[in-house]
Amino acid sequence: MALLRSLLRLRRPVNNMKKLEEVLQDWEAVIGLEIHAELTTLETKMFCGCKLEFGAEPNTHTCPVCLGLPGALPVPNRAAIESIVLAGLATNCEIEKRSMFYRKNYMYPDMSKNFQTTQGPIAFCMRGHLDLEVDGAAAKERIDLKEAQEEGSYVAHIGIERIHMEEDAGKMVHVGGGEGRIAGATHSLIDYNRCGTPLIELVTQPDLRTPEEARLFMQKLRQIYLAIGISDCSMEEGSLRCDGNVSLRRRGETKLGTKTELKNMNSFKNLHDGLAYEICRQAEVLEEGGIIYQETRHWDPSKKRTIVMRVKETADDYRLFPEPDMVPFQLSDDFIDEVRQRLPELPDQKAKRFEEDYGLSAYDARHLVEHRTTARFFEECMRLQGAGEVAKPLANMIINDVAAYLNANPEITDLNQTALTPPRALDLVKLIAEDKISSKQGKEVFAAILEEDKNPAAIVSERGMEQVSDTGAIEAVVDGVLAAFPDKVEQYKGGKTGLLGFFVGQCMKEMKGQGNPKVINELLAQKLN
């Protein structure tokens, strides 16, 4: 009956739903995430010796163990256990020495043995946390926080309930539906190569309050996993995916509402947009006197709505019981200490070092380390002699121009593959800092470096871009422009100070874009005031 009601609600128009910012005025969202990461850097599966290989011919890396054939016995992968302990240490978890595996029973076509081997209530990693620094547009969703609205930033403390290990299921390939999704598919194919792949699942506490916080949490976790080298975290290939649980309650209330689960969010945008839609949908249902049912829903990005998949299972439905083919684990102090020694510099630590060593702001440092590629490139530049004084403008160029280029070309993971070398990046930054070209011209030169594989100075020379900073030459142009528009000069002096931009534009036009805007602004201010 619950499923029927949910399906009937899909027929209602959704165009009239309130926007997220309207909903959050009256409702508080309570969000928890379940983030799955495949341990793709390992060579073999969780409980057998089958090779881990993405993109292999379907159903070529299977054996009696990962297919669950009678008489096959699992043997735990030590390297996988090391990886999960590493993940726990990197996310401030307490490492439990004693843990055991359970059988989680369900009938799905992508799990041939009809149960999944997973850890029980006590996982290897328990009671962790991550702190999120939220600023800019992301902070605006927290209308309940004074610092978010007044200062434009805040820190969200997000608890981690546990990180547990389990084996992944196979891959279902949906044929005939839009974007390869189950919605609208005519049939499905199954590739069991992924069955038994070591998988870790991080479960947060319900501490997230906005879709932006959820997106930022997943981004930060991805950075950490990449830094410690346990997964390639490819959301496109499914090695990192997320389920989001969300419920609503009236602002000021403490009792939790009924939650729904959004399955398999495979991008940061889908995670944000799916949660935002579900928050608005639940608010509409509740405000119309309806009931929210505990169910699993699917986000359809093409139609920008969630669709009910099934009534949510409970723990009792899975009939969990201890795995009879494996004894409980007992991790030694020596084992944990050995893994701890493998911890690299984590993103937060790197950002702090950038602040201290290079005098960067917390904002710049944090955004530099969002991508390993940008952080590595910045450090390569800073190792060059004489680069210290350009740390701030170099960081700005990397955060804005370089990051935009990498986002547009996701296949590039190392800037050494491009024409933008550290010496060229430094030369470009210095040309701008020395007022030889404007910041606007700098963007043109940046693009030309990548397209033409030339040094910045050569590009500036070939295109006649070098900025005129001679005060005498610029003053003559300024005087001519002011003389040509006496009526606008009077309007400016009468209080229409916005006309300053008009005068600057006219001067730049006369100088064919080569006048130093800073000098032009200074001279105009002197002559008009």
In a domain, 19, yes or no: yes
The confidence band for 388, taking pLDDT boundaries of 50, 70 and 90, is low
256 in the same domain as 123: yes
Q: How many domains does the chain have?
A: 3
Q: Determine the pLDDT at residue 11.
A: 43
Q: Determine the pLDDT at residue 10.
A: 46
Q: Evaluate if residue 527 carries a pLDDT over 90.
A: no
Q: Determine the pLDDT at residue 313.
A: 58
Domain final residue, candidates 295, 316, 336: 336
175 in the same domain as 120: yes
pLDDT tens, position by position, 38-78: 998 999 999 999 999 888 999 999 999 999 898 899 999 99
Mean pLDDT of the region 87-97: 97
504 in the same domain as 382: no
Helices (H) and strands (E) in the chain, counts: 21, 16
Between 78-90 and 211-228, two packed helices, what is the crossing angle to 10 degrees?
Answer: 130
**What is the percent of the chain with per-residue pLDDT over 90, rounded to a whole number?**
55
203 in the same domain as 267: yes
96 in the same domain as 17: yes
- For 184, other C-beta atoms within 10 Å of its C-beta total 12
In a domain, 178, yes or no: yes
Q: Evaluate if residue 13 carries a pLDDT over 50.
A: no
433 in the same domain as 287: no
In a domain, 341, yes or no: no
**What is the percent of the chain with per-residue pLDDT over 70, rounded to a whole number?**
94
480 in the same domain as 456: no
197 in the same domain as 160: yes
Highest mean pLDDT among 5-9, 102-106, 211-215, 368-372: 211-215
In a domain, 343, yes or no: no
450 in the same domain as 479: no
pLDDT tens, position by position, 398-436: 999 999 998 888 888 888 889 999 999 999 999 988 888
Backbone angles phi, psi at 71, to 5 degrees: 90, -10
Domain final residue, candidates 414, 436, 462: 462
In a domain, 342, yes or no: no
Indicate the pTM of the whole model.
0.83
**How many C-alpha atoms does 119 have within 13 Å on its Cβ side?**
27
pLDDT tens, position by position, 259-290: 999 987 889 999 999 999 999 999 999 999 99
397 in the same domain as 258: no
In a domain, 80, yes or no: yes
Mean pLDDT of the region 145-166: 91
Encoding tokens for residue 426?
């430094």
Domain around 303:
2-336
155 in the same domain as 231: yes
DSSP 151: T
In a domain, 371, yes or no: yes
Q: Evaluate if residue 2 carries a pLDDT over 60.
A: no
Write the CATH number for 480: 1.10.10.410
Q: Evaluate if residue 445 carries a pLDDT over 70.
A: yes
- Ordered alpha helix ranges (H), 103-228: 146-150, 211-228
In a domain, 217, yes or no: yes
483 in the same domain as 376: no
- For 206, other C-beta atoms within 10 Å of its C-beta total 18
Mean pLDDT of the region 304-325: 78
- Residues forming a β-bridge with 173: 189
Domain final residue, candidates 462, 485, 515: 462
